[in-house]
Chain A
Amino acid sequence: NAGVMQNPRHLVRRRGQEARLRCSPMKGHSHVYWYRQLPEEGLKFMVYLQKENIIDESGMPKERFSAEFPKEGPSILRIQQVVRGDSAAYFCASSPRTSSSYEQYFGPGTRLTVT
Chain B
Amino acid sequence: AQSVTQLGSHVSVSEGALVLLRCNYSSSVPPYLFWYVQYPNQGLQLLLKYLSGSTLVKGINGFEAEFNKSQTSFHLRKPSVHISDTAEYFCAVSDDDASGGSYIPTFGRGTSLIVHP
Which residue numbers of A lie inside 8 Å of B, CB to CB?
Answer: 4, 6, 33, 35, 40-43, 45, 48, 56, 91, 93, 98-101, 103-104, 106-109
Cβ-defined contact, A48 with B103, below 8 A: yes
Q: Which 6 A-B pairs have the closest CB atoms?
A: A106-B43, A42-B109, A100-B94, A43-B107, A106-B44, A103-B46
Q: Which residues of B contact A107 (CB under 8 A)?
A: 43
The smallest beta-carbon distance between B100 and chain A, in angstroms, is 10
| B34 on interface, CB distance cutoff 8 Å | yes
How many B residues touch the partner, as a band?
20 to 34
Q: Which residues of B contact A108 (CB under 8 A)?
A: 41-43
Q: For the complex, what is the distance from the CA of A6 to the CA of B43, rounded to whole Å?
A: 10
Across the interface, name the chain B residue whose C-beta is closest to A106.
B43
Q: Given A33-B104, A107-B43, A100–B95 Cβ distance below 8 Å?
A: yes
Q: For the complex, what is the distance from the CA of A70 to the CA of B34, rounded to whole Å?
A: 29
| B32 on interface, CB distance cutoff 8 Å | yes
Cβ-defined contact, B44 with A91, below 8 A: yes
The smallest beta-carbon distance between B77 and chain A, in angstroms, is 20
Known pairs A42-B107, A48-B104, A93-B43 / 15 extra A-B pairs, C-beta < 8 Å: A4-B43, A33-B104, A41-B109, A42-B109, A43-B44, A43-B90, A45-B106, A56-B104, A91-B44, A99-B103, A100-B32, A100-B97, A103-B34, A104-B46, A106-B44
